[in-house]
Amino acid sequence: MLKPAALGGLFIGVLSALPIVGAANCCCCLWIVSGGALAAYVAGQNQPASVTPGEGALLGATAGLIGALLWVPIAIALDMLMAPVQQSIIASILTNARDMPPEARQALEGLMQPASSFRYLVGFIFQFVAGAIFGAIGGVLAAMFFRKDVPPALGGAHVPPIPLSPPPVPMRPSVAEPPVGIDPVDDAPPAPPAEPPGQD
């Protein structure tokens, strides 16, 4: 169960840390729910029985917590790589836009400053709490959607229905046959003798 949760956590941590792609978490924590669902799906593929909703919730929550732990180093590394490019783009904007309002100029100048540790702390707390809640939701949804019907003999809980037997065919009454060795013609009563003609 740990490998599927780690895979889902890696999915959450990487996609949530990307500069533009990570903004999809604003839409119902899309990447966190997807990562929890991925963990439950992979776990269900590695075992014959279906993942129960409880197991899916546990897998999704674990994936969300792992994703929060992975988000911090990935976000720091990406910020360090993207900082020179971001600063050059903002500097060119500030140079060319001379009629920019002072408020917008101050906001852009603030983006040129390196990210503080407070930003990473707030992001980690959000990823931790949201990962535990929405990751569990994604795991439950995947467990219910990808449920497999496995009989109890193979470790599942699915009991196939008992097939209905066809209705009995009505039997026709059989005609009693005479015992073996007896001719039914010999057992018939003898016919009365014919009277000679002319005798009344």
Residue 159 is predicted with a pLDDT of: 53
- CA–CA separation, 198 vs 200, rounded Å? 6
Q: What is the pLDDT along the chain (200 residues), one digit of tens a residue?
A: 789 999 999 999 999 988 778 888 888 889 999 999 999 999 988 888 788 899 999 999 999 999 999 999 998 888 888 777 777 776 777 677 767 777 776 776 666 666 677 888 998 999 999 999 999 999 999 999 888 765 555 555 555 566 666 666 676 666 555 555 555 555 555 666 666 665 55
**In this structure, are residues 9 and 67 in contact, taking their beta carbons and an 8 Å threshold?**
yes
Neighbours of 179 (CB within 10 A): 7
Lookup: tokens for 151 = 């009989």
Specify the DSSP class assigned to residue 49: S
- The one-character DSSP state at 172 is P
Residues 8 and 39: beta-carbon distance below 8 Å? yes
Is 115 within 8 Å of 101 (Cβ atoms)? no
Integer CA distances (angstroms), 103 to 18, 38, 92, 95, in order: 27, 43, 17, 16
Length of the chain equals: 200
Q: Which amino acid is at 156?
A: G
Q: Which two tokens stand for residue 83?
A: 């900082």
Q: Phi and psi for 129 in degrees, rounded to 5?
A: -70, -50
Please give the C-alpha separations between residue 159 and each of 56, 72, 74, 94, 151, in angstroms, as whole numbers. 22, 46, 46, 69, 6
pLDDT of residue 78: 86
Distance, in Å, from the CA atom of 11 to the CA atom of 59, rounded to the nearest integer, reads 13
